Amino acid sequence: MGYPEHAAPTAPAPSPRAGAHVAAATDEESSNRNVLVGAGVGALLLILVVGGVLFSVLGDDGDGSTAAAKSGKTLRGIAVLFDTDGSVEGSWDDCEGTDGYDDFTSGMSLKITGTNDEIVGSGDVVNVTESNIDDVAQAELDGDNALGMDATTHEEATAELRDMLETGEGMSCILYFEAAIEPSDYYSVELGSRGALNFSKADLEESGYVVGYSLGDL
């Protein structure tokens, strides 16, 4: 119940300084609360963002590497098309097959599957160029001699490969790929529509994880 108007008690008017002090304290407390709330939200967002980045980097294995990287193995492949009937066109560093070999080209599909037909690796099929000729020469030395070269050192292999590429323009085309692979006891490597080559883990270990394809008149 309110007091009658003539009997309402009158409280002393607040001192302007006290009022200002109370208002300032209230504003400061509100500001502090906003800062704390903002900091809390920011920290939560940071945790979520960092957590997302870590998940992206770590992947399902949770230790900073994918299964393919964990295997530590890179499968290298050298594919050779040799045909004297006009089924090769282009320069040695930008060649491709034609007619019945028109799938033999940079960018052709590469499928690597494991024991249970699961995908265990992927990579790009490219032409041999100045930027990767050393890698291809080294793969030839490390592997099963897919190109049939006589070289025994890296320098010799690079020189012999270059001569082979230049003199074979219009008749031969060499493609190359590298693919990080996951651990498996069995590998099936399919290049374009050329069917699959099958290897055991022991086969690849023996060949230095290098495989070779030969098409045409070879």
Contact 114, 184 (CB under 8 A): yes
CA angle (203 as vertex; 214, 83 as ends), nearest 5: 0
Q: Which residue type occupies 68?
A: A
Distance CA 138, CA 144 (A): 11
pLDDT of residue 146: 76
Residue 116, judged by CB atoms within 10 A of its CB (0-12, 13-18, 19+), counts as exposed
Residue extents of the structural domains in the chain: 16-61, 67-216
pLDDT of residue 79: 95
Distance CA 76, CA 140 (A): 9
Number of H helices, E strands in the chain: 5, 9
Tokens 């031969």 -> residue: 172
N-terminal to C-terminal alpha carbon distance within the chain:
110
pLDDT of residue 114: 96
Q: Three-state SS for 215?
A: strand
Comparing C-alpha atoms, which of 212, 214, 55 is closest to residue 144?
A: 212
Series of mean pLDDT values for 10-residue runs along the chain (218 residues): 42 40 44 46 36 33 45 88 92 95 94 95 95 96 83 94 95 96 96 91 94 86
For residue 29, CA distances in Å to 23, 25, 180 come to 10, 6, 58
Q: Which residue type occupies 73?
A: K
Contact 123, 189 (CB under 8 A): no
